[in-house]
Amino acid sequence: MKYLFVNSATTNLVVAIIIDGKITYLYNENDGNDTSAKIMPIIEEAFLKSNIRPQDIDKIFAVNGPGSFTGIRVGLTVAKVMAYALNIPVVPISSLEVMASGFDEDVVALIDARRGYVFAGGYDKDLNSTYKDSYVLFEKNKFNGKLISFDNFSFETFKPKLDLFKIILKHENDDGVNPHVLNPNYLKLTEAEEKRLYDGRN
């Protein structure tokens, strides 16, 4: 089986090709807020270096949030267009789960959502959820497990680690969704939506 993995929701842009349980290409770098310009050349390079064509892909694994609103949209748009053109399913995966994948202990993945709020999700070593992905006001004693994040906080956190094999093994048999119904999982309203809601109440 041949899979494409795409994550543009967090600080690091991740693009990978997995063929029969082997990672044949992996890009995992801070994209410097230039995801939209970089993602397609990187995907093209991924196919070239893996010596396969897009038509050979059986399934796409796409991170659908939470995280950067713009970053999420970029990656999901690419995944949806490719999945539709190739008539293959897309498996949506949480960015917080991906951040937690490289640990063999209970962790809580955090993304800074500003104004004291975070996107938070807790996972054990097998990526079972221990704290549902949420948009919450941060309170340290609310979470059990090592705190991990790409972002800088006033408290100690550890950098996330990626274990693609663990992610793929967990979700390999997921049916996936039709690309037309694949939506971002923002976990909160956008600032524009919040402003409209606020204005409507006043």
The Cα 94–Cα 140 span in angstroms is 22
Query: In this structure, which CATH number among 1.10.150.240, 3.20.20.140, 3.40.50.720, 3.30.420.40 belongs to the domain 2-200?
Result: 3.30.420.40
Cβ atoms of 123 and 113 closer than 8 Å? no
The Cα 46–Cα 138 span in angstroms is 38
How far are the Cα atoms of 9, 77, 82, 88, 136 from residue 59, in angstroms, in the given order? 19, 15, 10, 6, 33
Instruction: Write down the residue that tokens 């995992």 correspond to.
Output: 28
Q: Is the pTM of this model over 0.75?
A: yes
Domain boundaries, the chain: 2-200
Does the structure show a pLDDT above 70 at 201? no
Report the Cα 158 to chain-centroid distance in Å.
18
**Tokens describing residue 44:** 């093209």
Q: 131-183: per-residue pLDDT in tens?
A: 999 999 998 778 889 999 999 999 999 999 999 999 999 999 998 999 988 99
pLDDT of residue 111: 95
Cβ atoms of 7 and 153 closer than 8 Å? no
